[in-house]
Amino acid sequence: MKKDLLGLAGKVVLVTGASSGIGRGIARAFAEAGSHVVLAARRVGHLEHLARQLRRKRVRVLVVPTDVSDKEQVKRLIRETIKHFRRIDILVNNAGILEYEPFLSITDESWQRTLDVNLRGYLWVGQEVARHMKRKKRGVIINVASIAGYGAFPQIASYNISKAGIV
């Protein structure tokens, strides 16, 4: 039997943006450590595929398709997680979008979409989970930012600004 050196075995971990990239890797790492994982993102097919892989690690996995820019979907995500697991020990706020646009070409629509997912989504998911954690008197919230939040990269100004907001 593997030792639980990190104290993560049996923890309930909610990962937003879990369908690909960093979020997918984070979910895998927690499952590998023995944590039960809630997978949240918009692309349900990707989530279901990942869930099948993670269940082979003998951990419980819940898939909740969620657009974090929609407050009602965020509330449903937290309700379903609490109903299924009775708690959330760790939140990894990771959902994000990146649109390649030169600064002078940013449209109102793309600007709003980026801020809604990359900032407002973090706020809404964080608030809902923090309310639960406050009642339980424990929990950890991890907000994933980016090096782009520390300096400007050409062609992704909206993303730079949104990640700076997280930092």
Residues 8 and 31: their CA atoms lie apart, in Å, by 9
Catalytic residue flag (residue 150): no
Tokens of 110: 């793309």
Burial of 95 (0-12, 13-18, 19+ CB in 10 A): buried
Given a contact cutoff of 8 angstroms between Cβ atoms, the answer to whether 166 and 119 are in contact is yes
Active-site choice (100, 122, 150, 159)? 159
Length of the chain: 167
| Residues annotated catalytic, as ranges | 159
